[in-house]
Amino acid sequence: MTDAVEIVPVGVRRAAPDGMVERRGAGLWLTHLLLIAGVLVIFFPIWLAFVASTVTQPEIARPPMPVWPGGQFLENYRKALFAGVNVPVATMLFNSLVMAMGIAIGKIAISLLSAFAIVYFRFPGKSVFFWLIFLTLMLPVEVRIVPTYEVVAGFGMLNSYSGLIFPLIASATATFLFRQFFLTVPDELAEAARVDGARPMRFFVDILLPMSRTNIAALFVILFIYGWNQYLWPLLITTDPSMNTIVMGIKQMFPSGDDVADWPVIMATSILAMVPPVIVVVSMQRLFIRGLVDSEK
């Protein structure tokens, strides 16, 4: 399998200056203008959410709401973080963090081990295991929610971190990624390790793991976002508000019936829910793009 696309560093290909294909003058400005318009349109919902998180409830209740931030920033965020609606948002943030980290670390750990076994050993039943793992690629958790829920309930794992994490690491994407990578590692390295009398785990820890650093980091970024943004699964198994994750908890903050929603606090929570994954994506952009391309091939 090859990459879906090749990532070329921006600017490298465009080293030679010429004006034949690229736009100059008015055309260049128009290009910038359209791109800025696109960025603004995409940015608009977040801006409104941010503004709403800094004003008072009456200011929102009488539309149209203000377009510029008000003075309630600290108050609204403090209220959201430490009081919330059903449960303090700080608790939900912590739950989300545990779930996202658990999924990312758990999936990477079991995948590294099983990819190592599949690539570097011949053992009975290997191809059976390989195809069993391969099958798990095909079925998202959304499709098997009822029976998976029953399994988790049967283990008494409702409202627990392990119930949030384990069903979501039962998928083979990461295993395939590491398998593909291990296959590209030169045979000479394993040979040398064997000649030097290194045991398999020594080779794994001292040679294979350091070589996989970038792949692990790239995958971590993708899996962290995947875990953080889960909605359906936490909705099903966290009936206790103190176990809610932030992404699913926002909807629970809306009142049922005709009561008016506490929009400033809800919007502050929405902003808090997107800050961690956005920081991860923007600060690790290169790894993120790499992980995205890798995990889709």
Give the footprint of another protein on residues 210-269 (CB under 8 A).
225, 228-232, 235-236, 247-248, 250-251, 260, 263, 266-267
Residues from 42 through 81 that contact another protein (CB under 8 A) = 42-43, 45-46, 48-49, 52, 60-61, 63-65
> Which of 97, 207, 211, 281 lies at the binding interface for another protein (CB under 8 A)?
281
- Residue 202 near another protein by CB under 8 A: no
Site string for another protein, 21-40 (x = CB under 8 A): xxx----x--xx-xx--xx-
Q: Give the DSSP per-residue string, 16-32.
A: S--SSSS--HHHHHHHH
- Report the residue number, 101 or 292, with the smaller CB distance to another protein: 292
> Which of 71, 197, 256, 282 lies at the binding interface for another protein (CB under 8 A)?
282
For residue 125, CA distances in Å to 130, 131, 134, 175 come to: 9, 10, 14, 17
> Which of 268, 288, 291, 294 lies at the binding interface for another protein (CB under 8 A)?
288
CB of 183 to another protein, least distance (A): 5
How far is Cα 232 from Cα 176, in angstroms, rounded to an integer?
25
- Report the residue number, 20 or 26, with the smaller CB distance to another protein: 20
- Residue 170 near another protein by CB under 8 A: yes
CB of 75 to another protein, least distance (A): 19
> Which of 93, 100, 169, 243 lies at the binding interface for another protein (CB under 8 A)?
169
CB of 280 to another protein, least distance (A): 7
- SS3 for 262-282 is CHHHHHHHHHHHHHHHHHHHH
What kind and span of H or E run contains 169?
A: helix 161-169
Neighbours of 16 (CB within 10 A): 5
How far is Cα 53 from Cα 264, in angstroms, rounded to an integer?
4
> Which of 10, 26, 68, 74 lies at the binding interface for another protein (CB under 8 A)?
10
Give the number of residues in contact with another protein, rule: CB under 8 A: 117
CB of 222 to another protein, least distance (A): 10
Give the pair of three-digit tokens for residue 203: 């080779």
Own/partner long-range contacts of 230-234 (Cβ < 8 Å, ≥24 apart): 230/99, 230/164, 230/168, 232/141, 232/142, 232/145, 233/141, 233/145, 233/164, 233/167, 233/168, 234/99, 234/164
> Which of 78, 83, 156, 296 lies at the binding interface for another protein (CB under 8 A)?
296
CB of 71 to another protein, least distance (A): 20
Query: What three-state secondary structure class fits 291?
Result: helix
Query: What three-state secondary structure class fits 56?
Result: coil
Residues from 87 through 146 that contact another protein (CB under 8 A) = 109-111, 113-114, 116-124, 126, 129, 132-133, 135-140, 142-146
Burial of 251 (0-12, 13-18, 19+ CB in 10 A): exposed
- Report the residue number, 73 or 120, with the smaller CB distance to another protein: 120
Give the pair of three-digit tokens for residue 162: 């392990």
For residue 64, CA distances in Å to 48, 68, 258 come to: 11, 12, 20
- Report the residue number, 71 or 154, with the smaller CB distance to another protein: 154
> Which of 55, 93, 190, 219 lies at the binding interface for another protein (CB under 8 A)?
190
